Amino acid sequence: MRLTRRRGLRIAAALVISLGGWHFAGHHIQAEQADPGALWKDIPPEGRSLKDTRGRVPGDPAKAIDQLKRLGEMIRVHRDSHAGELPGGMGALLQSVVEDPKSYGFATALDVNPALLSEDCRFQPALPETCIPFLVFNRRRDGTPVGSPKPNGTRDLWAYTDLYRHVNTRFFAKGSTVNPVGFYLVLWDNGEVERVPYDDILYVPRRPDGTDWAVAFRGASGVPSDCITFDEFQTKVARMAAPFRGKPVPPGEAVPLPDNGGPEALVSLSRLLGAPIERDKLWELL
């Protein structure tokens, strides 16, 4: 069978994806939730959970930071070779790699796997054991193109991963609990990779009825005015009585820190570095 070049490249991409194990993370809140139906059957007294990290943030985030920086290089190559156009998602970027891997610094298209695949996906209940956990964007949350003029003091979001943010839902015979810990890794248009604490994100509605939400980040271009904070999401959408924080396990410790109402019960927040240590002033920054 004779193939045109374009059709041949599409088939090659499909083969590379199937052989290389390219799986992608979901794009919004609805896709992140595992189906809990079977979890409610014959629940033991200690409860049941899918991959509960028990207050820890497992894996190798330093490697993921390097992968995001490499991903930024790939996005720049795509932009420069497509008249300034950014890839419309990870699939579009990988298709470009398949078409011309050497321009992206790969000997063959298969070499992209070790550059982007992460074994830390195994710690997330909604992901396969190994996948590419990065989401790539060419549109801002308000629908404007990434790379178009933006307000001073803002940056464009190129990619992010929530691989190191864990909700840790545990189901009991009556009700359930959560113990959120961790952070997001965000790739900005200037190449910087930032750790964003799980409780410092914003939520943007994707549907008028409030049943579907997308994550946004402070300082990003194109965040709509109807976004809400982490605490507002908990009380207004999740219908919690009051905002809460998880109980992280410090490195080298075996049990979570006590939730005594002090900032030591919180995940480390980069925005508190260098803040005054007086308790009342510290709380004003949370």
pTM listed for this prediction: 0.77
Residue 272 lies in a domain: no
Which residue, among 113, 160, 158, 114, has the nearest Cα to 133 in the 3D structure?
Answer: 160
CA angle 41, 245, 252 (to 5 degrees): 90
Q: Helix, strand, or coil here: 36?
A: coil
Q: How many CA atoms lie within 13 A of 181 on its CB side?
A: 20
DSSP label at 124?
Answer: S
Per the CB < 8 A criterion, the answer to whether 170 and 137 are in contact is no
Residue 267 lies in a domain: no
Residues 194, 201: Cα–Cα separation, whole Å: 12
Displacement of CA 17 from its chain's centroid (Å): 21
Residues 233, 213: Cα–Cα separation, whole Å: 10
Residue 280 lies in a domain: no
Residue 124 lies in a domain: yes
Q: What is the DSSP string of 74-100?
A: HHHHHHHHTTTPPPSSHHHHHHHHHH-
Per the CB < 8 A criterion, the answer to whether 181 and 53 are in contact is yes
Residue 270 lies in a domain: no
| pLDDT for the residue 63 | 97
Per the CB < 8 A criterion, the answer to whether 78 and 98 are in contact is no
Per the CB < 8 A criterion, the answer to whether 69 and 62 are in contact is no
State how many domains the chain has.
Answer: 1
| pLDDT for the residue 222 | 97
DSSP label at 136?
Answer: E
| pLDDT for the residue 192 | 98
Residues 230, 217: Cα–Cα separation, whole Å: 11
Residue 31 lies in a domain: yes
| pLDDT for the residue 44 | 81
Per the CB < 8 A criterion, the answer to whether 28 and 212 are in contact is yes
Residue 192 lies in a domain: yes
Position 105: which residue type? G
Residue 282 lies in a domain: no
| pLDDT for the residue 2 | 35
User: Token pair 């896709």 is at which residue?
Assistant: 31
Structural domain boundaries enclosing 46: 5-260
Per-residue pLDDT of the chain in tens (286 residues, 90 and over written 9) = 333 434 444 433 433 433 334 455 543 333 344 455 665 667 888 778 888 898 999 999 999 999 999 999 999 999 999 999 999 999 999 999 999 999 999 999 889 988 999 999 999 988 999 999 999 999 999 999 999 999 999 999 999 999 999 999 888 888 888 899 999 999 999 999 999 999 999 999 998 888 899 999 999 999 999 999 999 999 999 888 888 888 888 666 666 554 444 444 444 444 444 444 444 444 444 4
| pLDDT for the residue 183 | 97
| pLDDT for the residue 51 | 86
